[in-house]
């Protein structure tokens, strides 16, 4: 099964039926897009959320994770710890459209910014054996992310990843992409917020780009702003920077 193969997702869509205020997070572009669109659908096994900083893609992933029962700082649904409550209110106002009779066998919510806290909880619980046998604190940031994907992520799982490329080299992103493809073959579903042109190239994935004005549109790989800008930079870094600095 490829990431784009037709099957029923664990989470088919998300809705935000009403906005209780205009403060954070309800003023974010992604929230305006959710309200205007009525329902944001996830038709394939891998959905990638793209958009500039401040568009709200990470806040949406976090909100979906909270609505799905995951610990706000990350981890599995059985993790129950809090270092600092920094999650938004969005999760409490989202409605997840699930497929009747389909429940994930396992799952994980990865927040790049708070994985240190998750690693500390893994040590406290004494469950490092499920994460490659070594405490994540004894591995580099990127190595611990790949240990998580290779050893803790399992078949038939629901995985929500917020900018996993933050810890990964290009080779690491490629390794994660391969692992995602393997897990999709086992019936897993991924929702990923990312800036990475490598992860955005996931075969068969749905790419949803969030515009500054709030529109959320399905786009092709070549249409993603992060991809276009990376290509323009790599084609001629000197000229690109000269033009940027002259502006």
Domain boundaries of the chain, sorted by first residue: 11-221
Least confident of 18-27, 47-56, 128-137: 128-137
**Cα(146)–Cα(49) distance, integer angstroms:** 21
* Predicted pLDDT of residue 123: 81
Q: Are 44 and 3 in contact (CB under 8 A)?
A: yes
* Predicted pLDDT of residue 85: 61
User: How far, in Å, are 56, 110, 118, 206, 208 from residue 40 at the CA level?
Assistant: 14, 21, 29, 12, 9
Residue 22 above 80 pLDDT? no
Residues contacting residue 41 through CB under 8 Å, at least 6 positions apart: 12, 13
Name which CATH class applies to 11-221: alpha beta
* Predicted pLDDT of residue 208: 96
* Predicted pLDDT of residue 5: 46
pLDDT tier for residue 197 given thresholds of 50, 70 and 90: very high
Cis preceding linkage at 25, omega within 30: yes
DSSP H or E stretch at residue 18: none
Q: Are 205 and 46 in contact (CB under 8 A)?
A: yes
Q: What percentage of the chain has pLDDT greater than the value 70?
A: 94
Q: Which of 70-79, 107-116, 176-185 has the highest mean pLDDT?
A: 176-185
Across the chain, mean pLDDT equals 88
The radius of gyration of the chain's CA atoms, rounded to the nearest angstrom, is 18
* Predicted pLDDT of residue 200: 98
């Amino acid at each position: 099964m490829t990431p784009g193969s037709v099957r029923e997702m664990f989470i088919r869509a998300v809705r935000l039926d009403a906005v209780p205020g205009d403060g954070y997070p309800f003023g974010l572009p992604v929230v305006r897009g959710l309200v205007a669109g009525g329902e944001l659908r996830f038709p394939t096994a891998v959905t990638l959320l793209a958009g500039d900083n401040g568009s709200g893609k990470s806040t949406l992933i976090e909100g979906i994770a909270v609505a799905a029962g995951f610990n706000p700082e990350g981890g599995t649904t059985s993790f129950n710890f809090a270092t600092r409550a920094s999650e938004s209110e969005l999760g409490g106002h989202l409605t997840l459209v699930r497929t009747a009779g389909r429940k994930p066998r396992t799952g994980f919510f990865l927040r790049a910014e708070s994985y240190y806290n998750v690693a500390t909880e893994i040590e406290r619980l004494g469950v490092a054996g499920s994460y490659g046998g070594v405490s994540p604190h004894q591995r580099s940031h990127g190595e611990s992310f790949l240990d998580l994907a290779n050893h803790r992520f399992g078949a038939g799982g629901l995985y929500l990843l917020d900018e996993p490329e933050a810890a990964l080299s290009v080779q690491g992103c490629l390794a994660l992409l391969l692992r995602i493809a393997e897990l999709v073959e086992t019936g897993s579903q991924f929702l990923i917020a990312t800036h990475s042109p490598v992860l955005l190239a996931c075969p068969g994935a749905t790419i949803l780009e969030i515009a500054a004005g709030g529109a959320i549109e399905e786009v092709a790989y070549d249409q993603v702003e992060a991809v276009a800008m990376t290509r323009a930079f790599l084609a001629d870094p000197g000229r690109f920077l000269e033009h940027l600095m002259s502006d």
